[in-house]
Structures are given as C-alpha cells and as structure tokens.
Amino acid sequence: MAGVITLFTMVPATPALAIAEPTEVSLEGIVIFQDLIDDYDFLAIVPYNIAFITEPDENINETYIFQMLSSDNYSELGFMLASPSYNGGYGPGVVAFYFSATTNMTWGEDYIFRVQQNPTYYSSPQYWDFLIGDSNYSTEDDQEAALKAKIVDSATFLTTAFETALLSQSESGNTILSTYGELYYLSVIPGLQTMCPSLFSVQLENPDYTKRTWATTLADTLETKYSGTFVYDFMTGFAGLFEMETSAAMGIFSLLLFVILVGISVWKFKASMLAAFIDGYTLLLLLMLMGMFPMVAAGGIAFCSVLLGGVILFLNKA
C-alpha cells in the first residue's frame, strides 16, 4: 500500500481549541471486499492508529474525520467518524466505508483515504492522505470468509490495545465476537451481522418465504399401491359382495380392525378408552401407510378426536 502524507493550513470557521498534535497518524492494512450483502457492493475496512503522548479530553469523533476520496483528490465519496468506545477512540482502531451496488464503485480502482483534523479543535488543521490500489482488494473467492478472517485478525490485535476481550468461542468451537466485540464492530461496520453472520453467536438469516405448493401425489400412490396384487383382488371380491368400490371396502375393513383392536384392549387388557383409542388409531396410521385406509379419513379422525378431547377437558375443568 502506498502512503502519501500531505499537510495544509486553513482558517477555522469557529474559534479553535488548543489540542496537542498526534505523535503518529497511520492507516495500515486497508482491505476492500465486495458481494457481501448485494452483488457488487463495496466495503473498505480501514485500521488506523492516531497516537498521542497524552490523549485529548475530547473524543476522536469530535476531533478527527475520516474521508474517502477519488484518486484525483477532487471528489469526496464518503466520510466516517471513529468510535470512541475505548480510549476515547485514540490509538489503534477501525473505521469502515460501505457502498451499495448502486454507488457504482470501481473494483481495483485507486482511492485516497484521508485523516482530517477538525478545524473546530485545531487552529491549523492538518490532513494525512493514504493512497490505496489494486493490492488492497481482496482476491478471495469466498468474500464472507475473507471478511471474517480480517475482523478476527483486527479483534485479536485490538483486544490487547483495548484490554478487553473482543473474541470468544462458540459452543461448537468457532471463533466469534464477544459481547464487547459485537458492540464495537457493529458500531464501526453497520450491517456486519448480515455481511458475516458466522462472526456472531446469534446469526441473522434471510428466511425463504416462497409459498409452497401441495399435491396429493403420495395419497394417490397409496390408493393404487396394491393394484394387480392378490390383496387388491381379495378386497375387490369383498367389495363386490356389498356392491361398493374397492377403496371403500379397504377403508371399511380397516375401521373393522380398528374397532376389534379397541374392543380387545378394553375387554382383554382392561385399558382405558383413551389408551385403547390410541392403540387403534396407531393401527389406522399403519394401514394408511400401507395404502389400506384413506389419508383424508385418518386426518379427519385425528381432528375430530382432538376437538372432542378438548371439549371434554374443558367441561371437566369447568
């Protein structure tokens, strides 16, 4: 990364306060990412260091402005204020610039990042320009993973500078931001939880609300499961005795087995009516999956049973 430092003097519009000059102003490790929220969006992660022998009483978001300029130094593309969460924002920290795809930022283009003193606090404000180029653009295929690696690297370094743990481990053993890390980086990079959900203990996803379509394919398949077999021939003969459809005969035969099982459970095994009904309904479900009992009828019995059971419980409570 090439760095160009330029100084200039201007007359402030308002009376300036006396603030000491920094001992160091640097932007190192700038990385540009894309395709994080939308295709062709643009995110610049800009680590900074603004060091003082004695830090000012005013926070950094009052005294310094971070700007992004076109390479010709004529157009301001955006500006940001640093977070004063730790040490008033002085020393090492991070700022970020995000542009949606509609901004039409050019991938691989040279840009200037400027650190500008606020003329309200500096009678002779200075600025420091840092030129970035093609080498500052992430070339990883997985931009989200590359962004996570950059944030983890930054948080590891800032944990020491802030004397606060910005990282922790998830239950599955993955490195994620701690509560303090989440607060800091979300203030620095709005939308980070959407850009890189794997950095967070609670992850944001975009659920699919596509309306599902339903079909009766399974039910239709079950109805013809025994076509051409001896079971179907037997039930067809049984249905012929009562002049009914084969499917209806299968349903009646299943209900007959249901009544027999309920009766045996109550009479032979002294089961309660509820337990006997559950046994019988389990048999009906098995017969349904075997293609003997209609799926619609099984659902209707279940619905009516729940409704009746609710009424009985309500009356008992009353």
pLDDT at position 313: 76
In sequence order, which residues have a C-beta less than 8 Å from that of residue 285 and are 6 or more positions away? 298
CB distance 305 to 277 below 8 Å: yes
- Taking the C-alpha atoms of residue 3 and residue 129, their distance in angstroms, rounded to an integer, is 7
Query: Average pLDDT in the 92-121 region?
Result: 94
pLDDT at position 125: 93
pLDDT at position 203: 65
- Taking the C-alpha atoms of residue 76 and residue 66, their distance in angstroms, rounded to an integer, is 11
Closest CA to 27 of 7, 50, 8, 6: 50
Domain ranges across the chain: 2-199, 217-317
Length of the chain: 318
- On the 0-12 / 13-18 / 19+ scale of CB atoms within 10 A, 281 is middle
For residue range 34-61, what is the model confidence (pLDDT) as tens digits?
Answer: 999 999 999 999 999 999 999 999 999 9
For residue range 203-223, what is the model confidence (pLDDT) as tens digits?
Answer: 656 666 777 787 878 777 877
pLDDT at position 207: 66
Of residues 266 and 225, more confidently modeled: 266
- Taking the C-alpha atoms of residue 76 and residue 67, their distance in angstroms, rounded to an integer, is 7
- 2-199 has which CATH code? 2.60.40.3580
Residue 76 has pLDDT above 50, yes or no: yes
pLDDT bin (cut points 50, 70, 90) of residue 119 is very high
Sign of CA dihedral 249, 252, 258, 264: negative
Of residues 235 and 22, more confidently modeled: 22
Q: Percent of the chain having pLDDT more than 90? A: 52
